[in-house]
Structure 1
Amino acid sequence: MFLLTTGVRPSEAYGLLWDEVDLVNGTIYIRRVLTRPRSGGWKFESPKTKSGIRSVVMPKETVEALREWKREQNAIILASVGNYHNHGLVFAAENGEPLQERNIIQRHFKPVLRAAGLDENIRLYDLRHSYATLALMVGVPVKVVSSNLGHADISLTLKVYSHVFAEMKEEAAVKLQDFLFSKSSSVGRAL
């Protein structure tokens, strides 16, 4: 839900700290990504570009889900009796350590895909593309979508999601036709 409604990259979600979540205003602040070097372990890194550092406003349902998750996570921390490695991560394993993507995919994501009757080859990263496509289709301005995605330039958003704009062009033509030439339109009657 979080990835689909915010458009953040999985590595950005894995690196998100509770200090960067404003549940009152429904905003997250992307400041880092979590990476796993080939040598092992994990570390925080800065996003690749300056535009990768950004804020994203979340839908109310996502904010509520995060509030509930924070309560559950706090209960896990209390029940762990000091065995929780609290790094302040929003999304952490039951011991507080960063999530392993393969575990998320196998234990949670694939079962959700199966239950929804969707192709199991869908990747977590594809939720980012779904966010962008859906946001553009419902009329979110491309500049806002581009900013939420952390794209350095709006032209990248326009290029990657050009297929959406083709559909939107057809819809725009129909809307303009209805506005100008509909019998109930005052403009249409004047023409």
Structure 2
Amino acid sequence: MNEADSAIPVTDPFTLFEAWFAEAKEAEPNDPNAMALATATSRGQPSVRMVLLKGHGSQWGKGGGFVFYTNAESRKGKEIRANLQASLLFHWKSLRRQIRIEGSLEEVSGQQADSYFHSRPRVSQIGSAASDQSRALADRQHYLDRVTALEERYPEGDIPRPPHWTGFLLTPHTIEFWQDRDFRLHDRRQFTREGPGEAWSNTLLYP
């Protein structure tokens, strides 16, 4: 490739994300679907944490998107419901790439949340149902006792999904792809659109 050429093609950003994500799944030793999720309160106080991508592509919602699941009574869940805007960041160090995504959030349907919750290992279902995520915990044994109590209450089969355990779909208005280049002459291309279903425009960005 000519040094003057961009390594990031002009194409549909969901198609490009899928190609990069497929390479990450081959190259990353742990959790290639891990992403930083940044939310903010209604007053603009930001916070960020790692979550796992559990659905993505043009088939999600009206304009395509990225799905994750969480306890809606956790800090991030409360911030999401107070301010339905968020950012995602994928960083694949082994590939020297990252993708930044910004957009609006909406809750997935109860049926979608049920389907994913019950696709998880039984112990993960129990762990989520037993947790008051982000709230103060007097000691770890108290949490483990709640896990045990649920195991005894539901000795087999799926655990009922708690109503506050749900998923969110981020519908992007901006997706930026970043590729490391020698001497910090990095390659960046940003895709933007006015709304779901609208055509994407793109531009290169200075590194």
TM surpasses 0.5: no
TM-score, length of structure 1 as denominator length? 0.26
TM-score, length of structure 2 as denominator length? 0.24
Name the structure where helix makes up a greater proportion of residues.
1
Name the structure where strand makes up a greater proportion of residues.
2
For the pair shown, which has the larger CA radius of gyration, 1 or 2? 1
